[in-house]
Amino acid sequence: MVKQVISTSSAPAAIGPYSQAIAAGNVAYLSGQIGLDPATGHLVEGGFDAQVHRALRNLRAVAEAAGGSIDDCVKLTLFLTDLTSFSRVNEIMQEYFRKPFPARSTVGVASLPRGAEFEVEAIMVRS
């Protein structure tokens, strides 16, 4: 099996020993994205909503670098440090995803890298 490393400057550089995404055949595995500004490497200001929007824009950039689009994501995993924000995430996600929506899991976590409140990772099928 050949693994293709996916990388784009339109999303934050990896902050550890991992790739932004790895493609194997027509499937791409997109690493978790938090609300880091790709230009500065710092968490965006503006609270939870701003972090969710930035993380989803980062995910979209990686999906595009992998030769697809955010609409090609078939599975998402969301990580929230406060599950009371679950309904707000649902509202924001509808600005980025269309029906049929990807399958999804949401996990409450104690903390995320860089003090983020939200993280999203995805599996994408490329055409």
Domain 3-125, architecture per CATH = 2-Layer Sandwich (3.30)
* Domains of the chain by residue range: 3-125
Residues of the chain with pLDDT under 50: none
Question: Residue 127 has what pLDDT?
Answer: 85
Neighbours of 24 (CB within 10 A): 11
- Tell me how far apart the alpha carbons of residues 77 and 103 are, in angstroms, rounded to a whole number: 9
**CA dihedral of 15, 51, 116, 102, whole degrees rounded to 10:** -80
Question: Residue 15 has what pLDDT?
Answer: 84
Do 3 and 28 form a contact (C-beta atoms < 8 A)? no
